[in-house]
Amino acid sequence: MQQWLRQTSLRLTIGRMAVVRVLVQAQGPVDAESVLRGMAEQGNSTSLATVYRILKELEQHALVEREWHHNSLGTRSCYLIKLGPQRKRACYFHCDVCGRRRKLAEPALANQLAAAAEHEGYDVRQELVVVSRCAACIKN
């Protein structure tokens, strides 16, 4: 893990190591509040603002991927560690009016859509974009 972080220009700090440790141990994408709780369980106390800052730095260095997760309470950012050059195939909905872009949270469906695109002769490498219209733009 330290070797992985050293490949960037980021300094190895206790905070960064703690955030990465929580993300590595997570079973999937987690939100910043969950990262903060995981750090507290490991004995690392910090603020939520610091967790967001570290996550943003890791995202800017392509070590972490941010996804948008939707539920009945709204939309939240979730973070997923990227421990190698391989990337999972992703599928996004892209609003043709406002440009809002949301990641499809169902990997199996994303793989099915990519397989259908490839069957039709399209080369889908890492992401598939479905151009559509978001609910807010439909209302307007």
Stronger pLDDT, 72 or 113, i.e. the higher one: 113
Q: What is the mean pLDDT of the chain?
A: 81
- pTM score of the predicted model: 0.59
> SS3 for the chain, per residue?
CHHHHHCCCCCCCHHHHHHHHHHHHCCCCECHHHHHHHHHHCCCCCCHHHHHHHHHHHHHCCCEEEEEEEECCEEEEEEEECCCCCCCCEEEEEECCCCCEEECCCHHHHHHHHHHHHHCCCCCCCEEEEEECCHHHHHC
Tens digit of pLDDT for each residue in 70-107? Answer: 766 777 888 988 765 444 567 788 889 888 888 876 76
Q: Which of 48, 136, 66 is nearest to 103 (CA)?
A: 66
User: What is the pLDDT, as a whole number, of residue 47?
Assistant: 95
Domains and CATH numbers, the chain: 2-81 (1.10.10.10), 90-139 (3.30.1490.190)
Tens digit of pLDDT for each residue in 14-23? Answer: 899 899 999 9
Cα separation values, 83 from 45, 47, 62, Å: 25, 25, 10
What average pLDDT does the segment 64-74 reach? 76
Q: Which residue has the tokens 């560690």?
A: 81
User: What is the pLDDT, as a whole number, of residue 88?
Assistant: 54
